[in-house]
Amino acid sequence: MEAQFEAVIAADARVEPRDWMPEAYRATLVRQIAQHAHSEIIGMQPEGNWLTRAPSLRRKAILLAKAQDEAGHGLYLYAAAETLGVDRAELTEKLIDGRQKYSSIFNYPTLTFADVGVIGWLVDGAAICNQVPLCRCSYGPYARAMVRICKEESFHQRQGYELLMTLMAGTDAQRAMVQDAVDRWWWPSLMMFGPPDGASPNSERSMAWRIKRHSNDELRRRFVDMTVPQAEHLGVTLPDPDLAWNEERGGWDFGEPDWSELQQVIKGDGPCNAQRIERRRAAHEDGAWVREAASAYAAKQPAREGSAG
Amino acid sequence: MSDDHVYLSLAEAGPGPDGEARWAYGTGFADPLLGVDAAPPVGIDPADLAAYCLMLGDDALVLSQRLIQWITRAPELEEEVALANLGLDLLGQARRLLTRAGQLDGSGRGEDELAYWREESAYRNVRLVELENGDFAQCVVRLLLFATAREELYRRLVGHADPVLSAVAALGVKELAYHREYAAAWTVRLGDGTEESHRRMRAALDALWPWLEELFTPHEVELRLGVDPSPLRAPVLAALEGVLAEATLPVPEVVGRAYVNGRGGRHGVHTEAMGPLLAELQVVARAHPGATW
């Protein structure tokens, strides 16, 4: 069985839910897919902070549709995780009590409406760099979920960029708002690719199993190369004095993120960690009576279910 | 997605049958009434028609804002998706109706000027839609009451002489039918679920039913336009009673909430919940007069 699994991986084919797989492969995928699903759901909060205050009805509609897409992504990803023998309720419990993580980027606050655009441009942009290779991940259900998610994410990224273009063509206050948001989100966005390759404990095995296909540093460089010309076109300054074109490499050199701050955020002491989890916990607990009622009602309908099925 | 290079993948998702048009459909448009003849229909007072579009548009906008406040707080992810979907439908209706109101009243105001720069007393929504959210039972009951009544109204406006009102109604009938079915399904589940859910549903019905009557009480503009909502009362009550019976919930025996000197939401006299709702809705726009977003 193990040989068959190795052969599937070597042939760059897909492992499917009923195939035999090493326990560590299963556990790695559960951890990664759950973390990804949790990120979609927690990620609704920082932007949701601006839903009620969006300054035009068109922007409100765009942001609401985006929040809806993210809830949908959470649903597909939890469903992909469920094919590995866990269930959504259990994963939600683990998120709420801190046994599973979500992307640390969502532990930063959204302080102005320009943050909505910058999250679309930089955070969704970084997420796309991380996620596009996952469309070819060795685990079939995850890879397939990622195809749809990546398409929607790239749409969100362009919507975010379009918002920023509009603001940059607007008033001085709007332009200042964009620059301020870029200053706050640039480094956290670079940190979304994870620690430097030398300090990334799970990377090597995930690459061997073709769950992951590029190293953290490689993806980070790709993101910077993609983003610098976009920043120039937009007319904002990226807050990195070391940013410089490297002729020899054909890419941009950039400074080192503040890894100690990232560690602090990962360990739970970011500006919004407690707030994000508290909101998720409150929604889950406040909804308990609704879920119980739905189960109780369903349990009263055996005859109807039977005749319909 | 033929390649995992980011540039190429992004380019691939560009406009076209497989690109932009497929995602978040119906949110990106900048002019809600693009290509529609702006002239008022012959024989109808444009000021009255504008006032009526505001009434229906404000109902949709304010309820949409209340639904939006549920996002990240819903009891299940499926409900996050559904409530966002309902909010988007209502927001779409509001955008078209507000834009139409601005065309007809001669002021040249667009949807955003009407949404963000009117004072509370110029808002014409019924009070039911502005009340605080409360728990999920109240969310469900408000949706049930509003959607049942609004679907019934839109059904009658489908053939209206105004092309925008008629078009909003034609699409709205389908949207509201889904809203009503969603709310009815939850009403039955929660009414006939646990003791706790039954108790909460009764409390929600007692709290919200008294505000239902305003949806059937004609304003002088509605009477002049021939769109008196009072004939909606009988079919709406019959439909609601059917749902409540299946949900094992009694029809509340409560009287309607009084007006203030004969004036309610349709006259711009609201509840205390309305001020904070509008303050939140309007705060960013008002901090940047004249800005484009």
Tens digits of per-residue pLDDT, B81-99? 999 999 999 999 999 999 9
The residue in chain A having the minimum alpha-carbon distance to the alpha carbon of residue B81 is: A68
A191-to-A104, A202, A233, B281 alpha-carbon distances in Å: 9, 16, 23, 33
A140-168 vs A216-234: helix crossing angle, rounded to 10: 30
pLDDT the model gives residue A133: 87
A234-to-A116, A165, A175, B45, B259 alpha-carbon distances in Å: 16, 6, 10, 47, 53
Chain A residues close to B288, C-beta within 8 Å: 55, 171, 173-174
Q: Closest Cα partner for A83 from A133, A9, A139, A154?
A: A139
pLDDT the model gives residue B167: 94
* pLDDT (tens digit per residue) in A192-206: 999 998 877 777 788
Residue B31 resides in a domain: no
A251-253 and A244-246 beta bridge pairing: antiparallel
Residue B32 resides in a domain: no
Average pLDDT over every residue of A293-308 = 79
The residue in chain A having the minimum alpha-carbon distance to the alpha carbon of residue B80 is: A71
Q: Is the pLDDT of residue A307 over 60?
A: no
Q: Closest Cα partner for B219 from B231, B227, B211?
A: B227
**How does residue B2 score in pLDDT terms, banded at 50, 70 and 90?**
very low
Reduce the DSSP state of residue A133 to 3 states and report it. helix
pLDDT the model gives residue B20: 43
Task: Point out the residue among B84, B98, B285 whose CB comes nearest to the CB of A68.
Answer: B84
Per the structure, the count of domains in chain B is 1
A286:B80 CB<8 A:
no
pLDDT the model gives residue B10: 45
DSSP state of B108: -
pLDDT the model gives residue B28: 63
* Contact criterion met (CB below 8 Å) for A245 and A151: no
What is the Cα Rg of chain A in Å? 21
pLDDT the model gives residue A205: 82
Higher per-residue pLDDT: A199 or A235: A235
Q: Is the pLDDT of residue A14 over 70?
A: yes
CA distance A110 to B23: 25
Q: A67 touching B, CB under 8 A?
A: yes
CA distance A303 to A301: 6
pLDDT the model gives residue B148: 98
Q: Is the pLDDT of residue A299 over 90?
A: yes
A286:B23 CB<8 A:
no
Chain A residues close to B1, C-beta within 8 Å: 132, 135, 147, 150-151
pLDDT the model gives residue A76: 92
CA distance B203 to B186: 15
- What residue numbers bound the domain in which B125 lies? 44-287
Q: Closest Cα partner for B214 from B129, B122, B123, B98?
A: B129
pLDDT the model gives residue A305: 56
Chain B residues close to A127, C-beta within 8 Å: none
Q: Is the pLDDT of residue B3 over 60?
A: no
Q: Which two tokens stand for residue A140?
A: 């079939």
Q: A133 touching B, CB under 8 A?
A: yes
Q: Is the pLDDT of residue A1 over 90?
A: no
Q: Is the pLDDT of residue A264 over 80?
A: yes
E-assigned strand segments in chain A: 244-246, 251-253
Average pLDDT over every residue of A255-267 = 93
pLDDT the model gives residue B14: 46
CA distance A86 to chain B (A): 17
pLDDT the model gives residue A199: 79
Residue B78 resides in a domain: yes
* pLDDT (tens digit per residue) in B29-79: 778 888 777 888 999 999 999 999 999 999 999 999 999 999 999 999 999
CA distance B72 to A280: 7
Higher per-residue pLDDT: A133 or A85: A85
Residue B70 resides in a domain: yes
Quote the mean pLDDT of chain B.
91
Q: B292 touching A, CB under 8 A?
A: yes
Residue B169 resides in a domain: yes
Q: Which two tokens stand for residue A227?
A: 């983003």
Share of chain A above pLDDT 70, in %: 97
Residue B29 resides in a domain: no
B9:A53 CB<8 A:
no
A166:B290 CB<8 A:
no
* pLDDT (tens digit per residue) in A45-68: 999 999 999 999 999 999 999 999
Higher per-residue pLDDT: A178 or A309: A178
Three-point CA angle B250, B251, B257, nearest 5°? 135
CA distance B138 to B276: 19
**How does residue A255 score in pLDDT terms, banded at 50, 70 and 90?**
very high
Reduce the DSSP state of residue B263 to 3 states and report it. strand
Q: Is the pLDDT of residue B25 over 50?
A: no
Q: Is the pLDDT of residue A295 over 70?
A: yes
**How does residue B17 score in pLDDT terms, banded at 50, 70 and 90?**
very low
* Contact criterion met (CB below 8 Å) for A35 and A95: no
Average pLDDT over every residue of B265-292 = 98
CA distance B17 to chain A (A): 13
Long-range contacts of B34-41 (CB under 8 A, 24+ apart): B36/B163, B36/B164, B36/B167, B37/B163, B38/B103, B40/B104, B40/B162, B41/B161, B41/B162, B41/B163
DSSP state of B70: T
CA distance B178 to B9: 36
Q: Is the pLDDT of residue B225 over 90?
A: yes
CA distance A178 to A175: 5
Q: Is the pLDDT of residue B24 over 70?
A: no
* pLDDT (tens digit per residue) in B121-154: 999 999 999 999 999 999 999 999 999 999 999 9
**How does residue B27 score in pLDDT terms, banded at 50, 70 and 90?**
low
The residue in chain B having the minimum alpha-carbon distance to the alpha carbon of residue A220 is: B6
Average pLDDT over every residue of B215-230 = 98
Q: Is the pLDDT of residue B189 over 70?
A: yes
Other beta carbons within 10 angstroms of residue A246's beta carbon come to: 10
ipTM: 0.93
B130-to-A52, B120, B138 alpha-carbon distances in Å: 14, 11, 12
* Contact criterion met (CB below 8 Å) for A146 and A135: yes
The label of the residue with tokens 């910058």 reads A118
* pLDDT (tens digit per residue) in A141-181: 999 999 989 999 999 999 999 999 999 999 999 999 999 99
Residue B16 resides in a domain: no
Three-point CA angle A243, A248, A250, nearest 5°? 65
Torsion of CA A43, B69, B96, B286, to 10 degrees: -90
Residue B204 resides in a domain: yes
CATH of the domain at B194: 1.20.1260.10
The residue in chain B having the minimum alpha-carbon distance to the alpha carbon of residue A65 is: B24
Q: Is the pLDDT of residue A70 over 60?
A: yes
Other beta carbons within 10 angstroms of residue A253's beta carbon come to: 13
Higher per-residue pLDDT: B3 or B48: B48
The label of the residue with tokens 């190293």 reads A215
